[in-house]
Chain A
Amino acid sequence: MNHKKHIVLFLCVLLGACAGILGIKPRNGERPFEHRAHVTKGVACTVCHEGIAKEVRTGPLHLPTTATCVSCHAKPHTQQSCGDCHGEKHQRQEVEIAKHALRFEHAKHVVASNGSCTKCHAKIGESRDVSLMPPMVSCFACHQHEKQFAARDCNGCHVDLPAEHVTPQDHLVHDGDFIREHGVRAAASPDLCATCHSERTCLSCHGVGTTPALPARLTFDQPRLSGLHRAGFLSRHAEESRNNPGLCTTCHAENTCRSCHEQQNVSAGGPTKRRSPHPSTWLNPTRGGDHGQAARLDPAGCAGCHGGAGEQLCIGCHKVGGPGGNPHGPGYTSRKDKQNDVPCRFCHRMGS
């Protein structure tokens, strides 16, 4: 019992000691601006955010300066600029991003809301680290945008969604194992993905053959980005490919492996040494060997090197009447014409 108490005590001490690094105890020296105190004192927003009631799409940010503060706080406690300590950097950044990326004019909204800023900026009343940007649901309280929302017509308000760095508040958030998940998520809503992502985002992986380099290679200095080809993928690609048959084929075309295997001499067609990647039991002249079962489980693995002209290697033995026998698995059917269509005719055409 005593032992358990010690463990619990140890864990509590450990948690307390690590509270700072885990973010439980904020270490940020910045102080949220005391909006709540100003509001309860009856200071109108436009006193500090001077000119905001006439703000149009372009122009200054209307954030208060030290001069604005000292007009009331006549005896500042330090010579530093007020903004150095009061107010948080991320809130200023939000304002800057909104100015750049949103079509929005305070001038129109101040009139419509009878000068009540808290109708939209409801969180002003909380003197803690919060985002003061109104959530989109606040906009929908007055603006009916169902049609635009259904049509993904965001351009009316959002000039540049990617620059806003906004993420959806629910569903479709790109966390967890999103690399695995994204295919099925994007299937029903490709136009939703397109509201933030350009075609190049998809093509940087799926445009294999025309990509300049793998995304993981170009972003080598960002190790926290996940991806299929991260870190020492080259070492373990054979294992990864066998453990997830068909996955490589969703992006890679036939013969993807061949050029690299030839360069690395891990190929029967290597320029200098010839070193087969297959085990010694791969091919047995009398009993066939392991290659048949392996090919059935992962045919894309075979096509990675032996696709196209390399198929002749198989046809030599497996054509009709050949020593390799019938390569089709149980229950195989096809609507192709075996005398005339590719690839059936390679083995089935009489006299070939």
Chain B
Amino acid sequence: MIRDPNVLRCKQTFWRAPLGDFRARARSAPFALGVAILFLSGLTRAEPLRLRGDAFAQTPSPTGLLILSGEDRVKPWISAEGLAWLGAGVGGETGAGDVLSLAVKLRDPTGHGELRVGRLMVTMGSIRPLQLDGASALGRTPWGSSLEAFGGAPVVPRFGERSYDWAVGGRLAQSLGEKAKLGVAYVHKRDRGDLAAEEVGADLAIAPTRTFDLAARTAYDLVSWGLVDALLSASLRFASLRLEAFATRRSPSRLLPATSLFSVLGDAPATRAGASVRWNAAPRLDLLGSGAVYVQDDRAGYDAFLRANLRTDDEGKGVLGLELRRQGVPQSGWTGIRATAVLPVLPRLRASTELELAAADHPDSRGAVWPWALVAMTYRASDRWDMALATEVASRPAVAREVVGLFRASYAWDR
């Protein structure tokens, strides 16, 4: 199999429990179910089981991470995936570990229904992403309707225990051929038994022609009546040009759980609207520009950026990039420039570097310019092994000078 080292690889699935409080992990039903399924996958397998391990280290505040991830489709009707990690020095903790995902998916091979169980991610239309220990089910009808439902306990990091935390919800959607899809969703969340969120929402995606498409979603707060957020994006696509218009409206206080004291301060929605253009100006040159205006209460501002990426070869192994960015918001505006380069040195050795200079409009006592630079070398020893080493240097508001060493080694098992 050919692998592009520049494509984020998302293969895998089997994981070994991180050391530490094994019993706490074993209490988790998804854990037991996942291990059982993955064990069975070793006995009868339809597709190759793929695993990936990453080791990551960082100085000077030593941080070490070991990440194991995997994904497997045992049969057309069952698949599993997982990612677990074990670390030291993460977020100031001397020893830590957690499971990012561990889910088993049962699926009707004809696609009319599926069930996911375990530690999973729920995104259903207007329902914002939710990480749950629970289950999610989806049913589809031949006439394009679908019904999704989920329930479970919102994930508490490091296997923490909390009582009476739960969330339920669902979405009903209808497709109109391949041209449009409309959905309505509902979510109800409890935090230690107290009402944390109750929302209804709607989502829409239409693509009437090959060159035009539009997507929108909105959610309404049923606890303290009002719009939580609304997002819209419409794009026109031509051979080498893409134009997009977008608008968002967010009520920050309604995005917080209703159990937070900061959710009661009233509504001050932030609205932004703008447009972006992507132009493939030459076979190896991509230009991207974006600009938006922003209004919240009596504050108004704008932001804009322009990015150019030039591939130094037809395969895109080497890339030079330059980005200019400006956020012109009163009291918190800043201007930045960022340059990047990825250059293949030898067939298996690649150098990359990144430099950023940012200057705040009101730096106060935080320094006039915040420079940041990184130089990295990546060695791809084989299709399975790759290693990267980097030095990062920065001067930022909290630290005048900082030098950090970074190392990553990755191994992929394919059978």
Contact = CB atoms under 8 A, between A and B. Distances in A.
Nearest to B297: A297
Contact of A225 (B8, B142, B224): B8
Contacts of A207: 100-101, 121, 131, 155
A243 B58 CA distance: 30
Contacts of B11: 162-163
B256 A210 contact: no
A21 B319 CA distance: 11
Contacts of B125: 187-188
Contacts of A75: none
B267 interface: yes
A129 B400 CA distance: 52
A330 to B, nearest CB: 6
Interface in B79-105: 81, 83, 85, 87, 90-92, 98-101, 103
B257 to A, nearest CB: 8
Which of B262, B329, B390 has most chain A Cβ within 10 Å?
B262
A242 interface: yes
A236 B329 CA distance: 13
B43 to A, nearest CB: 20
A68 interface: no
Given A160-B47, A245-B270, A23 B285 contact: yes
B255 A300 contact: yes
A236 B334 contact: yes
B124 A190 contact: yes
A243 B327 contact: yes
A51 B126 CA distance: 53
B244 A224 contact: no
Contacts of B211: 170
A210 B364 contact: no
Contacts of A122: none
Given A22-B282, A210-B155, A221-B352, A295 B358 contact: no
Contacts of A332: 224, 264-267
B112 interface: yes
Given A100-B1, A329-B268, A220 B374 contact: yes
Contact of B140 (A27, A151, A159, A230): A151
B262 A300 contact: yes
A98 B389 CA distance: 33
Interface string B309-351: 1111011000101000001010111101010111000000010
B138 interface: yes
A289 B58 CA distance: 41
B390 to A, nearest CB: 5
Interface in B212-258: 213, 215-217, 222-225, 229, 231-233, 235, 237, 242, 244, 246, 250-253, 255-258
Interface string B177-191: 010011100000001
B224 A335 contact: yes
A294 to B, nearest CB: 10
A314 B76 CA distance: 55
B195 interface: yes
Contact of B398 (A218, A264, A307): A264
A199 B91 CA distance: 24
B interface, over-half SS: strand
Contacts of A249: 252, 255-256
Interface string A28-51: 100000000000000000000000
B296 A245 contact: yes
B381 interface: no
Contacts of B126: 187
A213 interface: yes
Which of B11, B205, B336 has most chain A Cβ within 10 Å?
B205
A329 B265 contact: yes
A118 interface: no
A181 B252 contact: no
B7 A151 contact: no
Contact of A150 (B109, B140, B301): B140
A189 B101 contact: no
Contacts of B117: none
Contacts of A197: 10
Nearest to B209: A170
B59 interface: no
B288 interface: yes
Interface in A214-252: 215, 217-225, 230-232, 234-236, 238-240, 242-247, 249-251
A187 B203 contact: yes
Interface stretch (A4-12, A57-65, A108-116, A172-180): A172-180
Given A198-B71, A221-B352, A259 B91 contact: yes
8 contacts: A24-B282, A220-B392, A245-B252, A245-B270, A246-B229, A297-B296, A299-B256, A299-B260
